[in-house]
């Protein structure tokens, strides 16, 4: 009974705090992006090259004409089932992302350029399967932020992490935890945040996904060591609002590198 009362009171306080913070911001600052994350399952052979050409010469240019971007086109380096490509597509609304393929099917320039991928036959498929999820950016990090190295196409790697929670309450508490200082601790540690998103439609819900960028694997290790040893992070982690129960039940951790056509 005491635990239920604690959770109820804490949740109410969290909602009031977050609502108050958001309503106090200017309208432009409250505008949050949505993200479609596409996972392209491929097989070794011609599929990776066909898919990369499709991204570079057909899909990303068409999405840019729609006013979307910057797009992330990434190769999975460490994680299950390689070769796999990921596409991160920011959009201003759920509708714009949900109807992407319908709109692409009406774009003649796209269809001509995309033909080797779009019209591939069952005898020579361009991919195995495409999976997609839809996310809403966190209020505290409302826009995708490319790392500085993206502008010069310098070396960089990405870490994409998905946190699953055992309940909707625990998921909401983990989102609140990010808004209670975790963004700042990542930046301070040299872990460059790219985006944070709450999954609206996808598998293994409730969950959230976020992405960090680093110069290389050594910088990744150094950044996480600095983050884990940050006294402010340790204090937040020990806060009874977040430490009353395990609020993350599973973590998926992927290491990716950008394709040449990636805009992040």
Q: Is the pLDDT at 4 greater than 70, yes or no?
A: no
- The confidence score (pLDDT) of residue 29 equals 53
- Give the domain range for residue 216: 2-258
Read out DSSP for 91-120? ESSHHHHHTHHHHHTT-HHHHHHHHHHHT-
Task: Determine the 3-state secondary structure of 40 from DSSP.
Answer: strand
When pLDDT is averaged across residues 177-197 and rounded to a whole number, the result is: 98
Q: Is the pLDDT at 15 greater than 70, yes or no?
A: no
What is the C-alpha separation between 69 and 35, in angstroms, rounded? 10
Q: Is the pLDDT at 90 greater than 70, yes or no?
A: yes
Q: pLDDT tens-digit profile of 223-239?
A: 999 999 999 999 999 99
When pLDDT is averaged across residues 201-223 and rounded to a whole number, the result is: 98
| Side-chain half-sphere exposure of 124, counting CA atoms within 13 A | 10
Task: Determine the 3-state secondary structure of 210 from DSSP.
Answer: strand
Q: Is the pLDDT at 13 greater than 60, yes or no?
A: no
When pLDDT is averaged across residues 77-104 and rounded to a whole number, the result is: 96
Neighbours of 179 (CB within 10 A): 18
- Whichever domain contains 252, its CATH number is 3.30.70.100
What is the C-alpha separation between 9 and 145, in angstroms, rounded? 35
Task: Identify the band that residue 8 occupies on the pLDDT scale cut at 50, 70 and 90.
Answer: very low
Contacts of 160 (CB under 8 A, 6+ apart): 86, 209, 210, 211, 253, 254, 256
Share of the chain above pLDDT 70, in %: 89
Task: Provide the β-strand partners of residue 129.
Answer: 41
When pLDDT is averaged across residues 212-223 and rounded to a whole number, the result is: 98
Task: Identify the band that residue 108 occupies on the pLDDT scale cut at 50, 70 and 90.
Answer: very high
- Whether 81 is covered by a domain: the verdict is yes
The two three-digit tokens of residue 254, written as one number: 């992927």
- The confidence score (pLDDT) of residue 30 equals 60
- Whether 175 is covered by a domain: the verdict is yes
- The confidence score (pLDDT) of residue 7 equals 38
Q: Is the pLDDT at 147 greater than 70, yes or no?
A: yes
Q: pLDDT tens-digit profile of 48-66?
A: 999 999 999 999 999 999 9
- The confidence score (pLDDT) of residue 245 equals 86
- Whether 126 is covered by a domain: the verdict is yes
The two three-digit tokens of residue 44, written as one number: 């070794």
**pTM for the whole structure:** 0.87
The two three-digit tokens of residue 53, written as one number: 């050409």
Contacts of 74 (CB under 8 A, 6+ apart): 85, 86, 87, 88, 158, 256, 257, 258, 259, 262
- Whether 167 is covered by a domain: the verdict is yes
- Whether 168 is covered by a domain: the verdict is yes
Alpha-carbon torsion 149, 153, 157, 158, what sign?
A: positive
- Whether 50 is covered by a domain: the verdict is yes
When pLDDT is averaged across residues 151-175 and rounded to a whole number, the result is: 97
Select the more confidently predicted residue: 67 or 15. 67
Average pLDDT, the chain: 90
Neighbours of 6 (CB within 10 A): 13
- The whole-angstrom distance between residue 135's C-alpha and the CA centroid of its chain comes to 8
Rounded to a whole number of angstroms, the CA Rg of the chain reads 20
- The confidence score (pLDDT) of residue 244 equals 83
- The confidence score (pLDDT) of residue 111 equals 97
Name the domain count of the chain. Answer: 1
């Amino acid at each position: 009974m005491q635990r239920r009362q604690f959770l109820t009171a804490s949740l109410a306080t969290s909602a009031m705090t977050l609502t108050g913070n958001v309503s106090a911001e200017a309208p432009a600052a409250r505008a949050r992006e949505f993200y479609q994350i596409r996972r392209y399952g491929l097989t070794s052979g011609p599929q990776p090259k066909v898919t990369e050409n499709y991204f570079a010469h057909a899909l990303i240019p068409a999405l840019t004409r729609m006013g979307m971007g910057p797009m992330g086109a990434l190769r999975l380096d460490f994680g299950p089932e390689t070769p796999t490509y990921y596409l991160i597509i920011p959009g201003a609304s759920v509708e714009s992302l949900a109807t992407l393929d319908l709109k692409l099917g009406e774009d003649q320039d796209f269809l001509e350029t995309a033909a080797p991928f779009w019209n591939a036959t069952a005898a020579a498929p361009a991919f195995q399967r495409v999976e997609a999820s839809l996310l809403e950016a966190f209020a505290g990090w409302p826009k995708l932020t490319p790392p500085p190295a993206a502008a010069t196409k310098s070396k960089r790697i990405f870490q994409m992490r998905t946190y699953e929670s055992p309940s909707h309450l625990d998921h909401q508490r983990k989102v609140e935890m990010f808004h209670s200082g975790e963004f700042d601790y990542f930046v301070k540690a040299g872990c460059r945040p790219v985006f944070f998103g709450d999954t609206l439609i996808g598998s293994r819900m409730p969950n959230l996904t976020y992405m960090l960028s680093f110069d290389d694997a050594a910088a990744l290790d150094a950044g996480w060591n600095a983050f884990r040893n940050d006294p402010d992070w340790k204090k937040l982690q020990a806060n009874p609002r977040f430490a009353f129960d395990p609020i993350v039940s599973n973590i998926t951790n992927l290491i990716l590198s950008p394709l040449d056509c990636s805009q992040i």
